[in-house]
Structure formats: C-alpha cells, structure tokens
C-alpha cells in the first residue's frame, strides 16, 4: 500500500507545467500516480478538463478506428474514404468470392486447353462478373441490409460503385487466366464487352425486378442461348468457331456495346428504383 | 401540430397476399406501438414508412415529405432512424465498424465527429465494453442492441423500430424503455412489438393491425377498455369461455361471459388486444 504522497507543489507542476520537471522527476511522479489514488485526485483539480477530454478523444479515436486494408486505403485516394469504406464492405470483394473466381478460371483454362479451344472459357466468362454483382445485391444491395436502404447516402451511386468494383476485381482475376488459353490471340479480351453488357443489363433489370430475378434471368438467358447455339451446330466441324464468331466477332462486340449504352441509359433514368427492397 | 406520419388509403400486395389493405392512420410526436399477430402487415407498413418499400396505392407522407418521390425519400432518410426486423449484419464487422459504416451512409463525413457519435450511441445501448468485438461473437440480444444503436445515430426526428425488444432479456428491455423514454421527448417513435406490456409501459398511442387492416387506433387505455366488464378470474377453467388461460398465481383468467364463481377484474392492454383480434390472434400471440 502506498503511504508516501508526492509533495503538492510537485504534483501541481506535473499537471500544469510538466516541462519544468526533469526527466527523472517526471517519471517518478508518473510511476507514483499509477499506484496512488489520492495523488491522482490532487492532479485532477489542476488539469485542464477540456484538454484532457480532447486527449482522451484523440486516443479513443486511434484505438477504435476501423482497420482499413491496403486496397481500401488506395481506393480512398481516388474516391474519398467514405466511398472507399462503402465499397470495401461489398460482399463480392471478400476473399471467398475472389478465391472462387480463381478456381473457376483455372478450371475453365484447363478445360479449354484440354479441348484445344477457347470456347469453354469464353462462353462462361461473361456471366462470372454478373454473378459477382448479383451476390453483391443479394438480398439487398448492401451488407448492412434494410437498415442501409433507409440511409440518405445509399443510392444508385453506391450501388454502381459496388458493381464497378466487383466487375474490375473479377476482370483482374480472369485476365491472367485468359492469357493462358490455347491459340489465344485477341480472343483473350473478347469476353470483356459481353461481360460488361450482361452486367449492365442485369443492373438495368434490377430497376424492375429483384436483384435475384434480374441476375437469374440474364444468366439463364445467356447460358440457354449459348447451349442452344452449340446444339444447333452439332456435327459441324467448325462448331466452336461458328459459336464464338456469333457471340464475339467484331459485329457482335458492337452489338454488345450498344447493349451497354442502352442499359446505362436505363439505369440513369430509373436510378431511384435501385434503392428500395422492390424495384417497382 | 402537423402529423409526423400520414398514411392515406395505403395498400400493398405480395402476389395474391394482401399485406396492407386501405390503411389510413395519422401519427404525431411521442411513442406509437404497432400491435398485431404475425402476418398482420406490421413489417410491411414500417418498411413503407421507412422508405425501403413502395406502396401499391395510396399516399404516404413522413415528416412532411412524400415517400413516392426520390427527393422526398432522401429528405425523410436524413431524419430517420430505422431498425428493420432482420438487420443484415455484416458479421465480419465489429460492433463499432458496423455502426460506423451506417454512420457513413447517414452522411457523417467528418471522421472524428462520426467516431464520437458511434461511441455515444453504443454507450446509450450499453455496448461500450464490447464495441470492438466482431458481431459474429455477440449474443442475439447484443446484436439487437447494435441494431438499435445504428438507428439512434444523429438523434433522428423519427425512429421506426421493428420489434426492437425481440431477443432482449428483462433487464435490457427495461434499459430500452428508459432509452426510448428519453428519445421520445424530442422524436416521434413508431415501434412494432408482440409484447403488450411494452405497449402499456411505453406508448402514448397504439395501432392494432389485423389482416392488413387497422382494427384499433387510440390510447393503450382505450385498447384495454375494449375488454371492460369482460375479464374474469376464476378458480377453474370454463370450457364455454371465449378465451381462458392459467395465470402465474394458479387462477384462470377468462375473457368473455362470466364463469360461475368468478370475479370481475380490471382489463389490461393484452386483454383489450385479445378481445379485439379474437381467437386467431390468440393462437399467434401465445
């Protein structure tokens, strides 16, 4: 038990003019204060309460500050820390989704190399970013759920930032995989505009339908069309080539670009419908 | 005083199911309780008021703004605190991070001020000691309090709370009542609940929904008065009673005609509620 107490004037100097004490004296007083409630009471009377409160706030602010990833910090330089935080909370940017993308890309590349054609990769790749965006929107376009929908900042802007972030992340994962395809040439990037078009189409449809319905509809429509085309050209020695030309040749790319423009216009006009549980 | 919430002939359907059927109510300052069995339309009405769901027909004005327009919704959201029935917690967040995240969405751009506000609301719900724990590590009651905390950010003019006391233990419910009492002096509060004692303790006004329609709109005393001269205590159960249940002291409480040897007692809010919605609701509430 502490029975000795620091001299009153020493405590007052410690509290009001700490620079007037040498290092040894200041350290001694500080150590003593840790174990002596009575002396702590003395310095409380001489401490600037406003300064103390500000100091505690500053300490608490550092301690409680949410940890930010490197990616979030980097994004913050471009879009501001608030938007960066909102984007970083996106479901589809979690490691599980990125890992799934890496795995699916690897399987598609192996399948493509096995059959000696880019078709398996190109025909599936456009729906992967779409599924990522769908996961982002499910069940509502925010990880904080309905509570976020009732917030003023939550709007089409946040939804689109998220969709863009997922799209870019998926592309960054899949682009190196595309480079490993056999006879790759320009086909390595042929899936990008269709992927963008399908994603934009689904976001556009989200202004009428639930996210699940919109993404499901576009995914099924794409896969059904691809499958139907492949079935129709069975027996044709140039089956893969014809299918790829149909979906990815320069003419098709132009059509996909038109879809992107149309869907973007739809989202712009109907953006208010993106921020509620139901799009209607 | 102009109404804080004005619901005029609002209807909402989910496919063939009618969730709200021509609902008209007008609410002002103070705490209003929304009672009704499961599926009565409480959550749908709260979602419409909280601007996260559009009504099929009718008009809805909240804090003087129309929920049907984008600008109206934005203005409402700036003055609104909303606790949904199932908040979609990002369980990887800590309690602090989650509330901080919602504060960002509520346009608190200044980090220092925002963090002070987050600490304030977490302290209000008694979570300051666990605010740096991940939400997945918190109990159901604590998660509910995290949800309440995010609704309190910025001391909103209107609080819409969907079953705020679900999962709270008796002490936490008492603390919540205290908290809401302090908020209601400056804000309008609309809360849905299955707990009639919460309504009796907290609410100046009560609205009973049943099958998507408003069955009662008045004071808790008015709701209790619906069962005046209809509540009896007897030693044994009368099989002909409309409703009867054994109370904690071993007596049987009856609603309806007096059983033999029974004693008339003062009705409670629960008695009034059960009288109003009848046996189908009793099955849902018990």
Chain B residues in contact with A82 (beta carbon < 8 A): 104, 109
Chain B residues in contact with A158 (beta carbon < 8 A): 105
The pLDDT confidence band at residue B207, using thresholds 50, 70 and 90, is: very high
**CA-CA distance, A48 to A26, in Å (whole number)?**
18
Chain B residues in contact with A81 (beta carbon < 8 A): 111
Name which of A4-13, A67-76, A136-145 the model is least confident about.
Answer: A136-145
Which pLDDT score, from 0 to 100, does residue A48 have? 79
User: What pLDDT digit, counting tens, does each position of A77-107 carry?
Assistant: 887 888 888 888 776 667 777 888 888 888 8
User: Do A160 and A267 touch, CB atoms closer than 8 A?
Assistant: yes
**CA-CA distance, A163 to A98, in Å (whole number)?**
15
CA torsion sign for A170, A176, A181, A183 is: positive
The partner residue sitting opposite A151, judged by closest CB among B86, B102, B115, is B102
Which candidate, B283, B282, B266, places its Cα nearest to that of B274? B282
User: What pLDDT digit, counting tens, does each position of B187-199 carry?
Assistant: 899 999 988 888 8
Alpha carbon of A223: minimum distance to chain B alpha carbons (Å): 28
Q: Is the pLDDT of residue A129 over 90?
A: no
Coil/strand/helix, residue A22:
coil
Q: How far apart, in Å, are the Cα atoms of A31 and each of A7, A19, A35, A41?
A: 14, 17, 7, 15
- Strand residue runs (E) in B42-200: 57-62, 65-66, 80-83, 158-162, 188-192
Counting residues of chain B whose pLDDT is more than 90, the rounded percentage is 49
**CA-CA distance, A4 to A36, in Å (whole number)?**
9
The pLDDT confidence band at residue A280, using thresholds 50, 70 and 90, is: very low
Which pLDDT score, from 0 to 100, does residue B83 have? 95
- Write down the ipTM of this complex: 0.84
Phi, psi dihedrals of residue B147, rounded to the nearest 5°: -60, -40
| B109/A86 Cβ within 8 A | no
Which pLDDT score, from 0 to 100, does residue A239 have? 67
User: Do B98 and B131 touch, CB atoms closer than 8 A?
Assistant: no
CB pairs under 8 A between A and B: 115
pTM of the model: 0.78
Q: Is the pLDDT of residue A238 over 80?
A: no
Which pLDDT score, from 0 to 100, does residue A117 have? 75
**CA-CA distance, A76 to A69, in Å (whole number)?**
10
Query: What integer is the mean pLDDT of A266-271?
Result: 86
Q: Is the pLDDT of residue B279 over 70?
A: no
Which pLDDT score, from 0 to 100, does residue B79 have? 95
Which pLDDT score, from 0 to 100, does residue B160 have? 96
Which pLDDT score, from 0 to 100, does residue A93 have? 66
Chain B residues in contact with A65 (beta carbon < 8 A): 111, 115
Nearest CA in chain A to B85: A146
Which pLDDT score, from 0 to 100, does residue A140 have? 61
Query: What integer is the mean pLDDT of A195-222?
Result: 89
């Amino acid at each position: 038990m502490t029975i000795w107490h620091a001299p009153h004037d020493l405590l007052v100097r410690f509290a009001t003019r700490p620079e007037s004490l040498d290092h040894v004296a200041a350290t001694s007083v500080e150590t003593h204060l840790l174990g002596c409630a009575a002396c702590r009471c003395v310095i409380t009377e001489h401490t600037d309460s406003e300064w103390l409160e500000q100091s505690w706030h500053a300490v608490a602010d550092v301690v409680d500050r949410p940890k930010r990833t490197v990616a979030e910090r980097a994004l913050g330089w471009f879009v501001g820390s608030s938007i960066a935080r909102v984007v970083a909370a996106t479901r589809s940017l979690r490691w599980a989704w990125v890992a799934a993308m890496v795995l699916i890309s690897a399987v598609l590349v192996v399948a493509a190399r096995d059959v000696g054609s880019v078709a398996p990769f190109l025909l599936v790749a456009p729906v992967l970013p779409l599924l990522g965006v769908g996961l982002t929107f499910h069940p509502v376009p925010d990880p904080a759920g309905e509570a976020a929908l009732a917030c003023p900042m939550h709007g089409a802007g946040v939804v689109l930032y998220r969709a863009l972030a997922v799209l870019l992340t998926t592309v960054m994962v899949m682009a190196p995989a595309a480079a490993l395809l056999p006879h790759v040439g320009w086909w390595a990037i042929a899936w990008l505009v269709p992927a963008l078009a399908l994603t934009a189409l689904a976001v556009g449809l989200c202004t009428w339908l639930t996210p699940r319905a919109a993404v499901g509809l576009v995914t099924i429509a794409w896969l059904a069309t691809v499958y139907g085309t492949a079935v129709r050209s069975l027996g044709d020695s140039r089956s893969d080539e014809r299918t790829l030309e149909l979906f990815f040749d320069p003419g098709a790319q132009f059509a996909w670009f038109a879809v992107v423009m149309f869907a973007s216009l739809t989202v712009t006009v109907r953006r208010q419908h993106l921020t509620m549980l139901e799009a209607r | 005083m102009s109404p804080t919430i004005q619901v005029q002939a609002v209807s909402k359907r989910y496919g063939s199911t009618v969730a709200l059927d021509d609902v008209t109510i007008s609410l002002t300052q103070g705490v209003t309780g929304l009672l009704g069995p499961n599926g009565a339309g409480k959550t749908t009405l709260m979602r419409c008021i909280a601007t996260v769901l559009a009504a099929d027909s009718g008009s809805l004005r909240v804090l003087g703004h129309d929920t049907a327009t984008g600008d109206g919704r934005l203005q409402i959201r700036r003055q609104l605190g909303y606790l949904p029935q199932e908040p979609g917690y990002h369980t990887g967040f800590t309690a602090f991070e989650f509330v901080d995240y919602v504060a960002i969405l509520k346009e608190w751009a200044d980090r220092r001020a925002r963090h002070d506000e987050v600490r304030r609301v977490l302290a209000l719900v008694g979570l300051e000691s666990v605010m740096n724990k991940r939400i997945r590590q918190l109990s159901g009651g604590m998660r509910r309090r995290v949800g309440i905390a995010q609704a309190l950010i910025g001391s909103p003019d209107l609080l819409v709370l969907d079953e705020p006391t679900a999962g709270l233990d008796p002490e936490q419910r008492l603390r919540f009542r205290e908290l809401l009492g302090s908020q209601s002096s400056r804000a309008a509060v609309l809360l849905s609940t299955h707990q009639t004692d919460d309504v009796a303790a907290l609410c100046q006004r009560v609205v009973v929904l049943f099958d998507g329609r408003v069955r009662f709109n008045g004071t808790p005393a008015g709701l209790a008065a619906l069962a005046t001269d209809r509540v009896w205590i007897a030693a044994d159960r009368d099989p002909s009673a409309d409703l009867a249940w054994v109370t904690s002291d071993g007596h049987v409480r009856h609603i309806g005609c007096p059983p033999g040897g029974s004693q008339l007692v003062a009705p409670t809010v629960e008695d009034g509620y059960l009288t109003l919605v009848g046996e189908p609701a009793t099955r849902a509430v018990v």
